[in-house]
Amino acid sequence: MLSQQAILVSETSPSPTSSPTICQPLSKEPPEGCIKDKARRITVKVGGNQQGTGVIKSGSGVIIAKKESKNISEKDHLYLVLTNAHVIGDKNPINGQFQTVDGMEIVTSDGRIHQGFYLTEGNKKFGKLDLALVWFSSSINYQKAALGDSNKISSRYEEMYVSGFPCEQKQGNCTFYSLTGVGFLWESPLQEGYQVGYNIDAISGISGGSVLNEKAQLIAIHGKGQFPSLLPKYEFENNQKERKISSKENTLMAYFSWGIPINRYRQIYPKHPFGEVEKSYNNKYPKPPSPNNGNVENNSEHIILSLLNKIYPHVFIGFIVMLILLLMLRISNKQSKIIKMITKDKINK
C-alpha cells in the first residue's frame, strides 16, 4: 500500500479548487506553466498490491469526469479516473483472467489518499485496449480533465505535455513529473490501442498519466515509454492493416513514447458510465429509505423531527396539566392542614 509518507507533493502544489492567475490567460492558448498546472490538478497516483505476490504496483491516472452523489454520506463527489489496464492489474498466468490489485489507493494532487475501486462491468467494454476505469469518492471538489479531440492531432508534429507521478523504487517517493515534447498521430492504431507517439522520455510510473495539447486538453493516456535498447516489435491492432511495419520503422518507433488516443475511450463511452459507479457507491455507502418529501436528504432526522412536531403539543399540554394538578394538590394539602388545625383547636377547647 502507498503510505501517506510515501507521497511527496511539491511545496508549491496548488489546492484542488484554487485557480492561479497564470491559468487565466488573455490569449486563446494557455502558457506552458498553466498547462502543467492543469496537468497536476487532473493527474492522480494509482497503486495497490499485486495479488498473490505482495508486490506494489503503481502508476498514474487522470480524472476525466465527476458527479455529485445524492447519498447522505459526506463523500458527496464521485470521480471517474482513466488509466492503463496494466497499472491496476495483470492477467493471471494460470487462467488468463484479469486480476486487479488489492487495496487500491488513489492519491490526488493535494496529497490525500482515497480508496479506489475497479469498474468490473464497465472495463469489459475496453477489450484488448490498455485502458481501465477506476473511481473514488471525496467531499473535496477536484478538477477534471477537459477532453480534446485526438482525431485532430497532426500526422506530423505538434507540442504535447506528458505528466504523472513516478516513484523511486528504493525510497518509494512519488513526485509530480511533467515534460514537454512534440508528438504525432500514427497512421493506424497499434496493438492495445496505442497510436499517439511523442519524443518524451516518460519514465516508469507515468503509465496512465495525462497527455495534453497546447490548449490543456486531454488527447491521450500515456502507457509506453521509449525502448531503443530493447527494440520491441510494434504491430498494428488485431493485425488488420494490410501492410506490416518495416524493420526500419520499428527501430524508429522505439525512440518514441506512446499513448492511447482519448477518442478510443469516447467511442466506447459517449457518456461517462456513472451508472455502475453510483450502484457500487450505494452498495458501499447505503442510504436509508427516502421520505415522501424528496427535499429531505436525511430520512432519520426527518422522522425524528416529524415525531417531535406531533408529540410536542401533547407533551406541552400534559406538562401544563401536571403543573395544575401539582398546584391543586399543594393547595389541597394546605387546606387539609388548616382543617386539622381548626379541628384540633376545637377539641382542645
Q: For the chain, which residues make up each domain, given as ranges? A: 4-284, 298-349
**Residue 170 half-sphere exposure toward CB, CA atoms < 13 A:** 0
Query: Does the pLDDT of residue 345 top 70, yes or no?
Result: no
Q: Which residues pair with 164 in a beta bridge?
A: 177
The alpha carbon dihedral of 151, 152, 154, 159 has a sign of negative
CA 251 to chain centre: 38
Query: For the segment 73-109, what is each residue's pLDDT rounded down to a tens digit?
Result: 555 799 999 999 999 887 655 555 667 777 889 999 9
| pLDDT tens per residue across span 201-229 | 888 789 999 999 999 999 999 999 988 67
pLDDT reported for residue 49: 76
CATH architecture of 4-284: Beta Barrel (2.40)
What is residue 279's predicted lDDT score, i.e. its pLDDT? 86
Q: Which residues contact 230 (CB under 8 A, 6 or more apart)?
A: 254
d(CA 31, CA 216): 9
DSSP track, 253-301: HTTSEEEEEHHHHHHH-SS--HHHHHHHHHHHS--PPPPS-TT---HHH
Alpha-carbon gap, residue 323 to 315, rounded angstroms: 12
